[in-house]
Amino acid sequence: MLLEINPLVLPDIGLVFWNTVAFLVLLIVLGKFAWKPILKAINDRESGIEEALLKADKMKSEITAMQNENEALLAKAREERATLIKEAKEASEKMVAEAKDKAKSEYDRILADAQVAINQQKNAALAEVKNQVGNLVVEVAEKVLRKELSNKADQESYIKQLADGVKLN
């Protein structure tokens, strides 16, 4: 049995010819008017993408350079900060040392002034005591001379009585 082909499935030769002619005309029209703009658009897009990639690479290298520059600036700023802190610490230590020296010299001066004042007061007190003793001696001598006693025992008892009556300040 031979396979029998249904005539409805087989196309007519005229239909095949006109379909082929229409396809070739469509291919020529598309080649003339559509393929060139489509290919041009594809090429333009491709070149735009390449330019964008080149710009991205360039920006990436610029960003890397900026980051390196920023790191260098940060390192320099850290060094300057450390230097400033060190200088400030040295200045404060110097100020503290100067203040200590000034306080010590002021303390020594006040102590010396106090010693001088103490010595002056001591000398004044000694002079006062000497004056009082001198006055007492003169008074006692005056009283002894005023009273003439004949006997020595009476004189000694009178001197003891006067000595007991004298108040020392």
Residue 146 pLDDT exceeds 80: no
Encoding tokens for residue 150?
Answer: 């004949």
Residue 52 pLDDT exceeds 70: yes
- In three-state secondary structure terms, 6 is coil
- Mean per-residue pLDDT, 93-119: 94
pLDDT in tens, 117-135: 999 999 999 888 888 887 8
Percent of the chain with pLDDT over 70: 89
pLDDT at residue 19, rounded to an integer: 94
Residue 150 pLDDT exceeds 70: no
pLDDT at residue 149, rounded to an integer: 59
Residue 158 pLDDT exceeds 90: no
Whole-number Å distance between alpha carbons of 58 and 51: 10
Whole-number Å distance between alpha carbons of 169 and 132: 9
Amino acid found at 78 = R
165 contacts 136 by C-beta, under 8 angstroms: no
> pLDDT averaged over the chain?
87
Whole-number Å distance between alpha carbons of 34 and 40: 10
Residue 6 pLDDT exceeds 80: no
Encoding tokens for residue 76?
Answer: 């320099």
Three-point CA angle 82, 85, 87, nearest 5°: 110
Whole-number Å distance between alpha carbons of 38 and 30: 10
- In three-state secondary structure terms, 8 is coil
Total-model pTM? 0.40
